[in-house]
A and B are shown apart, each in its own frame.
Chain A
Amino acid sequence: MLARTAPGLAIVVVVFVFSVGGAPPAQVPPAPAPATQTPSELTINDLRGRPYSGPRVETPRGLDGKPDLTGYWRPLREAGKPGGNLGKDETNFALPFSDLGRRALLYSQNHTVDPEAVCILGGIPRHNGSGLPFEILHTPKRLATIYFYNTHRWVTIDENRQPPTSPEPHYFGTAVARWEDEALVIETVGLRDSSRDKIWLDENGNPTSDETRVTERWTRPDFHHLTLQMTVTDLKYYTRPFTFTRTWVHGDPGQGLTEYACNENNIDAAHIGPGAGAIGPDGNRGYGYQDLELPKDPPGPEKYGL
């Protein structure tokens, strides 16, 4: 099914492997047309999810009878809530920092260039708060989440398996998953630490520590929707666990991830400063929400001694 969405041989191979692994035919609408849009052709309207108003289509299921999460998923943006900020449901969109967490935040904002901007893995939980679509390939024993900048993680589904006690730190940590009724619960530990590694908790440059545990509860209530309730427990940098929720909508027929040449000509990498930049009162990074516009007659380079 997914071969339609990507011309790359690698993806075709992945689909083949999944087919051998026993993924059943999904209960999906008619086969779509091939994808034609590359990442740089997409617009904001292609990436964000739009509320689905068509007839309900049953949740597709795998050979184990559990919901099959496979699909191309576009995030629904909540009105009045910032994007890319895991504190979107907190008071003033601010996470409950501990004293150590505030120091780690200062470090992230003043020493760490946005890892994704220099083609470093974004990791978990950051990707779950991203405004970009992502893709899932799911078999009864393995699940892959594949992201826009051509990075991915693998999750083992095994109710008898526990997270490792002293894992090697990774951007995506080490994840194991189990089913709780209709919800796939993924537990991740062994993440890198923002005070010494190039990892952020979210797009706003909030910190995450080597003690972070991320618990994701994924459900697919019908064909067109994917929901997440994610709890981040990091009592090193935050005073209490906090929760992030989001709903994704299945992409249009023919849509899917394609090639993204992150490092092809990333001239910017040498000029990007540390941190996410100014965070506005609405919880978003940057200046785009403060009604700033270019002046009518900007000065020439001589104003800046250039």
Chain B
Amino acid sequence: MKSRLLTVCVLIAITAAASSRLVAHHSFAAMYDANKPIRLVGKLTKIEWTNPHSFFYIDVTDAKGRVNSWTIEGAGPGALSRRGFNRGDIDLGDTLIVQGYLAKSGARIVDGRLVTLPDGRIINGGTAGDGGPGSTAAPPAGPRSK
């Protein structure tokens, strides 16, 4: 399972560097706040493979021990599949690290620009053409920096 996952992640990283997901259905700035970058660490509780975006739900434990559910917006299932990231390649309960931007509405929704998978590989989740930070040239995927 782990070697398979590693292979998948490498494929994702290579593909993401060359062709970030696309077809922005809304502009980044209409939904997310570029002045509110955020980093989350949480356990995967649910995945929705739907259009126009997939959504990943993670439980994040705050400093006071409270657990809150966060929604992470990601690429559509076709794009993820093309990158080799298919249903079953990650399991509920896996820990994800997400770096992105908070929704302007104040809801616990994040545009996942960089998502770190359990093996340490990072997916570039930036949407080319959505006007979000760095969307003109998607930054390459790479190893997690600690």
A74 surroundings in chain B (CB, below 8 A): none
Q: Which of A249-306 contact B (CB under 8 A)?
A: 260-262, 264-268, 270-278, 284-290, 292-304, 306
Q: Is the C-beta of B103 less than 8 angstroms from some C-beta in chain A?
A: yes
A261 to B53, CA, bound (A): 10
Cβ–Cβ contact A306 & B68, under 8 A: yes
A298 surroundings in chain B (CB, below 8 A): 37-39, 99-100
Question: Which of A260, A271, A296 interacts with B145 by CB under 8 Å?
Answer: A296
A306 surroundings in chain B (CB, below 8 A): 68, 102, 106, 108
Interface of A is mostly: loop
B139 surroundings in chain A (CB, below 8 A): 293
Cβ–Cβ contact A288 & B134, under 8 A: yes
Cβ–Cβ contact A41 & B37, under 8 A: no
Shortest CB-to-CB span from B43 to chain A, Å, is 15
Shortest CB-to-CB span from B66 to chain A, Å, is 11
Shortest CB-to-CB span from A220 to chain B, Å, is 26
Q: Is the C-beta of B26 less than 8 angstroms from some C-beta in chain A?
A: yes
Cβ–Cβ contact A148 & B23, under 8 A: yes
* A: interface residue count bin: 35 or more
Return the chain A residue nearest B128 by Cβ.
Answer: A44
A296 to B145, CA, bound (A): 9
A304 surroundings in chain B (CB, below 8 A): 36, 38, 102
Cβ–Cβ contact B53 & A294, under 8 A: no
A149 surroundings in chain B (CB, below 8 A): 25
Shortest CB-to-CB span from A142 to chain B, Å, is 28
Cβ–Cβ contact B27 & A285, under 8 A: yes
Return the chain B residue nearest A295 by Cβ.
Answer: B37
Cβ–Cβ contact B52 & A262, under 8 A: yes
B62 surroundings in chain A (CB, below 8 A): 300-302
Cβ–Cβ contact A272 & B30, under 8 A: yes
Cβ–Cβ contact B39 & A300, under 8 A: yes
A271 to B25, CA, bound (A): 13
Shortest CB-to-CB span from A273 to chain B, Å, is 5
A45 to B23, CA, bound (A): 11
Cβ–Cβ contact B114 & A294, under 8 A: yes
B113 surroundings in chain A (CB, below 8 A): 294
Shortest CB-to-CB span from A117 to chain B, Å, is 3
Provide the B9-38 mask, 1 if CB < 8 A to any CB of A, else 0. Answer: 000000000011111011111110010111
Q: Is the C-beta of B45 less than 8 angstroms from some C-beta in chain A?
A: no
A284 surroundings in chain B (CB, below 8 A): 131
Cβ–Cβ contact A299 & B39, under 8 A: yes
Cβ–Cβ contact B51 & A39, under 8 A: yes
Cβ–Cβ contact A264 & B50, under 8 A: yes
Shortest CB-to-CB span from A55 to chain B, Å, is 29
Q: Is the C-beta of B1 less than 8 angstroms from some C-beta in chain A?
A: no
Return the chain A residue nearest B31 by Cβ.
Answer: A272
B interface residues with partner A (beta carbon < 8 Å): 19-23, 25-31, 34, 36-40, 48, 50-53, 55, 60, 62-63, 68, 70-71, 73, 75-79, 81-82, 99-109, 113-114, 128-136, 139, 145
Q: List 30 A-B contacts (CB under 8 A).
A: A39-B51, A40-B21, A40-B77, A40-B78, A40-B79, A41-B82, A43-B19, A43-B22, A47-B22, A47-B23, A117-B27, A132-B23, A261-B50, A266-B52, A268-B25, A268-B26, A272-B31, A273-B105, A286-B132, A287-B135, A288-B129, A288-B135, A292-B134, A294-B113, A294-B134, A300-B62, A301-B62, A301-B108, A302-B62, A306-B108
New A-B pairs, 18, CB < 8 Å, besides A260-B52, A273-B105, A292-B134: A39-B51, A40-B21, A40-B75, A47-B23, A149-B25, A261-B51, A264-B51, A265-B51, A265-B55, A273-B31, A273-B104, A284-B131, A286-B29, A286-B130, A288-B130, A294-B101, A297-B39, A299-B39
9 closest Cβ contacts across the A-B interface? A286-B131, A277-B29, A40-B76, A265-B50, A117-B26, A288-B135, A40-B78, A43-B19, A292-B133
